[in-house]
Structures are given as C-alpha cells and as structure tokens.
Amino acid sequence: MYGRQSAHRGRKATESSLSLASAHAFKLLGLRSHSRMELETKLRKKGFEEAHIAGSIERLIELNLINDRTFAEEFMRSRSRMKPAGRIKLKMELRKRGVEDAIIDEILKRHDSTGACLDAAEKKLRAIGGSPGTREKEKLVRFLLGRGFMWGEIREALETLMQGNGGRSPLGENEEES
C-alpha cells in the first residue's frame, strides 16, 4: 500500500508541475504574443522540466494560443507602428525568436519596406531637429541603415522628403548636392 501512495503522490506532483508550467505560459501569453521558441526558452529559464515544457507547449498549440505565423504577423504590425524597420532587421529579429524562414519570407513579401523607411526617416528628422545639414543627413542615413533598410529604400525616402519640402532637402541641402 505504501508504494501505491508514493506512486499516486508522484503522479500528482508531476500533474501539478505541468499545471504550473502551463499557468506560467498562460501568464506570459497574457502579456503579449510569443513564438513557440520564446515560450520554451522562458519556461526553461524558470526551471521547468523538459517534459512539462513540451506538454504545456503542445496544449497551447492545440488551443491555437501559440502560432508562429500569427505571432510573426502581430510582431510585424506592432513593429511597423512603434519602431519601423527594414526587411533585413525584421528577418533577423524573427529568426532570433525562432520563426521559420518560410513564414518570415511569406510575411515579408507583404511588408512595405519603403513606406516604413519613410516613416522612420520622418520620425528621426523630427527628433534630430536643430539646423539640418550634411551631418544630420549622415546621421539619418546611418540610423536607417541600422534599422535594416536597404540603400535604395533610404534614397527613395530622402527623395520623397525633399519633394514634400518644395524640392529643398529637409536636411538643409540643395537637390544638386545630394
């Protein structure tokens, strides 16, 4: 009889640990959407056993609470609003979060990188302020390159900003100097 109680207690402890892992995963998903890999990593850092992590993740997938495609789409929308970035940077960030390349490529096809570059450039120009000149243009270009935009997208954004400024560069230069 003693062995039976011990086995029963062991099963209860395992079920309890699985519930704790699932509860923690639910808590994390309540804060924001996560990729599968992000959740696994966070649960591992919390010290949950691999079997409990796998069980929790499997359950969340069944409930459609973890979906890397949905996560990537939400990430792109949020990133476009808050901190616009180019395809290079977005691909790198999604890979870092464990999203498969096929999903990333599919989502990036719909990304307006040129529009995002223009948004980021306008935002940065407002932040730079002061008397615009060559130094500010260099700063803006470095900033946009750091955000993962391609040179062609940056050039197009700068041209658009110039056109919206009566042909005068928003950076205080004549069109011929660019």
**Mean pLDDT over all residues of the chain?**
83
Share of the chain above pLDDT 90, in %: 62
Q: Domain extents for the chain?
A: 2-62, 68-108, 113-177
pLDDT the model gives residue 161: 82
Q: Over the stretch 80-90, which tens digit does the pLDDT of each residue have?
A: 888 999 999 99
What b/e sequence results for 138-150 when a residue is b if at least 16 CB atoms lie within 10 Å of its CB, and e otherwise?
ebbbebbeebbbb
pLDDT the model gives residue 153: 95
Report yes or no: 4 and 22 within 8 Å, Cβ to Cβ: no
Q: Considering the domain delimited by 2-62, tell me its CATH architecture.
A: Orthogonal Bundle (1.10)
Q: What one-character-per-residue DSSP string does 20-51 give? A: HHHHHHHHHHHHS---HHHHHHHHHHTT--HH
Report yes or no: 35 and 98 within 8 Å, Cβ to Cβ: yes
DSSP 166: T
Dihedrals φ, ψ of 47, to 5°? 95, 15
pLDDT at 171 over 70: no
Return the minimum-mean-pLDDT range out of 22-26, 100-104, 119-123, 136-140.
136-140
**Measured distance CA(63)–CA(172) in Å, rounded:** 55
pLDDT the model gives residue 1: 40
Q: How confident is the model at residue 12 (pLDDT cuts 50, 70, 90)?
A: very low
Tokens 């005068």 found at: 168
Task: Give 86's contacts (C-beta < 8 A, 6+ positions apart).
Answer: 113, 116, 117, 144, 147, 148, 149, 150, 153
Q: Over the stretch 138-162, which tens digit does the pLDDT of each residue have?
A: 888 999 999 999 999 999 998 888 7
pTM of the model: 0.75
3-state SS class at 137: helix
pLDDT the model gives residue 129: 73
